[in-house]
Structure 1
Amino acid sequence: MDWHPHVTVATLIEDQGRFLFTEELIEGQIRLNQPAGHLEPNETLLDAAIRETLEETGWEVELTGITGIYLYTAPSNGITYQRICFSASPVRHRSDHPLDKGIIGPKWLSRDELLGEKPRWRSELVLRCIDDYLSNGASSLDLIRL
């Protein structure tokens, strides 16, 4: 069996009790997710998180920590993803920055507002990353070796 997990990054951005999400169109459905995506060749995990956040939300961010490392097998396709979730602070919104194909745009929601959107979550990791962050905070970025 030829099995390869897909390495992905996600960024959890909090500002005054609200979290930055991206709305994306997937197979005709509007889904909510943290800004997230695949690690590209010759890219660091930190650079990937910053790039994906900008490409999916138009926000420049400063990474502040690591909130968790997750393995998730998507029931829709059986693919296993390794997600490294970072915490970040918003720096500047570039409303003129073009967003990736399929991305509708950024959306700020509180945890409670997110709970009301459960049918639109990309996966259960959307809430789990927030709850882990709220319960445990974030670990130092020094854990990432370049």
Structure 2
Amino acid sequence: MDWQPHITVATVIEDDGRFLFVDEFKAGRMVLNQPAGHLEAKESLREAALRETLEETGWEVELTGLLGIYLYTAPSNGVTYQRVCFSARPVRHDPARELDSDISGITWLTRDELAAQPERWRSELVLRCVDDYLAGIRGSLELVRD
């Protein structure tokens, strides 16, 4: 059997108790997710996180830490994803920037507002990453080697 995990990045961005999420269309429904996406060839994990955040939200951010490395197997297709999740702070927003085609918009939510909508999560990693952030779990960016 040919098994290969998909490497993805995600970014938890917090500003004054609210977190930045994307509304995206996946598997026939609108879901909430952190800005996230696949690592591209010849790209570092940090570069991928910054790029995906900008492309999906119009926000430039500063990465502040490594939040965690998560394994998730999607029940819908059996694909295993390795998610490298960063924490970040917002720097500058370009509201005129065109977002990725599968993104319908962005929203800022508190942890409780997110938790109240489990049917909208892209996966359980959406809340788990926020909870890990709120628990103070952070590694130095020096742990991420290019």
TM range (shorter): over 0.9
Structure 2: runs of 5+ lacking an equivalent:
none
Q: Does 1:31 align with 2:42?
A: no
The match for 1:85 is 85
The match for 2:5 is 5
Structure 1: runs of 5+ lacking an equivalent:
none
The match for 1:55 is 55
The match for 1:42 is 42
Distance 2:92 2:28 in 1: 30
Structure 1 ranges of 4+ moved more than 3 A: none
1:145 corresponds to which letter in structure 2? Answer: R
TM-score normalised by L of structure 2: 0.98
Distance 1:114 1:98 in 2: 25
- Quote the offset at 1:6 in angstroms: 0.2
The match for 1:113 is 113
**Which SS does the other structure have where 1:136 is aligned?**
coil
**Which SS does the other structure have where 1:137 is aligned?**
coil
The match for 1:72 is 72
The match for 1:134 is 134
Distance 1:27 1:68 in 2: 26
Distance 2:145 2:41 in 1: 16
**Cα RMSD over matched residues?**
0.8
- Quote the offset at 1:133 in angstroms: 1.1
- Quote the offset at 1:28 in angstroms: 2.9
**Which SS does the other structure have where 1:95 is aligned?**
coil
- Quote the offset at 1:25 in angstroms: 1.1
1:62 corresponds to which letter in structure 2? Answer: E
